[in-house]
Copies of this chain bind each other. A is one copy, B any other.
Amino acid sequence: MNPNRPSPNRPVYLKLRDQIAAAIIDGEYAEGAMLPSVRALAAEQGANPLTVAKAYQQFQNDGLVEVQRGVGMYVVTGAAERLRTADREAFLRTEWPEIRARMERLGLNPADMTMAD
């Protein structure tokens, strides 16, 4: 019935990526700490190690995690802050305008939206 906006079949590696990013921002994966091995996280999430690796990859490309080959992947210091600010900017620039337009069309006002919906 509804527009079903969030893509129905979000790829697993993207879900994992979001989930990991959230964990870093929240400090669940503390800076300097080693994040779960691809095999461990794969087993925990019921996914394939390669899929987890694919999710991890983007973070190392962005220099947010550091790979110590044969040891593990570690969260770089300052990763949480960098991640949050970059995320926020991207959100405001690309997502928010659409959301705002959508809400306006539906007769909703963000300013009126508090904890209670």
**How far is it, in angstroms, between the C-alpha of A14 and the C-alpha of B3 when the chains are bound?**
8
Question: A25 and B91: CB pair below 8 A?
Answer: no
Name the one of B88, B89, B99, B114 contacting A111, with C-beta atoms under 8 angstroms.
B114
Q: Whole-angstrom distance from the CB of A22 to the nearest CB of chain B?
A: 6
Q: Whole-angstrom distance from the CB of A107 to the nearest CB of chain B?
A: 7
**How far is it, in angstroms, between the C-alpha of A114 and the C-alpha of B86 when the chains are bound?**
21
Question: A107 and B86: CB pair below 8 A?
Answer: no
Q: Is A46 an interface residue (CB 8 A)?
A: no
Q: Which residues of A are at the interface with B, using a C-beta cutoff of 8 A?
A: 1-7, 10-11, 14, 17-18, 21-22, 25-26, 62, 84, 86-92, 94-100, 102-103, 105-108, 110-111, 113-114, 117
